[in-house]
Amino acid sequence: MEIALPAIIIFLLVSPGFIFRAQFKRAERETFDYSPFGRVVGQAFLWTVVLHILWLIITWWLLHSTIDIKILMRLLSSTHQESSFDAVSKDVIRIASYFLSLYLFCWAVPPLLRKSIIKYRLDRKDYWFSWLRMDAPWYYLLQGADLKKKPDVIAISAIVNVGDKPILYYGVLVDYIVDRHNGELNRLILSGAFRWELDKFDKANTTQDKMMISEPIDGNYLVISYDETITLNIKYLQETTDTDLTPDPGNADAQPD
């Protein structure tokens, strides 16, 4: 008991930070977290300190109660645990309320904070809240999350190797799928898609000529495998500023941040 009790207390004290971090962060790797161990622990302990300070202030404000450091130190030591445990048992309801409310906060509130950050685009590269950025490079690239205003249309031009023949596809990005294990882009889902044979496309001089030789693709959506994509071009369009929304596919490479 003398060995297990300090471990349990340390677990109760530090786990809110790990819960808060896990709920707050958004990563494209959903199965495994490949973040360096030191960074994970450092961030979790930082959140732990901030959360306990906040909760102690709230406890003092609402209940006019403060923590007894001596009792906590005795519980973490190998001596005087019995007397300290008796002191804790007399106030078990308030202690249980403290930890349960903290755990509930760490589980429920971080997703709401993350949604607010995404809604107001607070984690842009050029913003002073950039330290809130998520471990999701494809999200920033394919959603235009680094722009001050959300784009109305995201146009995709992709050269895909089809039977050893390069085909250029162009369409409006509807959604994308990321591999849950390694965070790599897996699929692009386009609507209103067109295709060109690349050699014919290169010979066309004007946008009108390019559209005349294009081949509309039947169906509501076109799914492109990123593994078969040679190059990828992404263009953000605003209906209020881009007066010409005529398809103008390119073939520039695009890679995540």
pLDDT for residue 87 = 59
How many Cβ atoms sit within 10 Å of the Cβ of residue 47? 20
205 contacts 158 by C-beta, under 8 angstroms: no
Q: How far apart, in whole angstroms, are the C-alpha atoms of residue 24 and residue 107? A: 9
- Domains present along the chain, CATH in parentheses: 4-132 (no CATH), 137-237 (2.30.30.100)
User: pLDDT in tens for each of the 257 residues of the chain?
Assistant: 445 667 778 888 899 999 998 888 776 655 455 556 677 788 889 999 999 999 989 888 887 776 666 666 666 665 655 555 665 666 677 778 888 999 999 999 999 998 898 888 888 888 888 778 887 889 999 999 898 888 999 999 999 988 888 999 999 999 999 987 777 899 999 999 999 988 888 888 877 778 788 888 888 999 999 999 999 999 999 876 654 445 566 544 555 54
pLDDT for residue 37 = 64
DSSP string, 100-137: HHHHHHHHHHHHHHHHHHHHTTTT-TTSTTGGG--B-H
Residue 198 to residues 54, 64, 207, 223: CA-CA distances in angstroms? Answer: 60, 74, 14, 19
Q: Does the model's pTM come out above 0.75?
A: no
pLDDT for residue 83 = 57
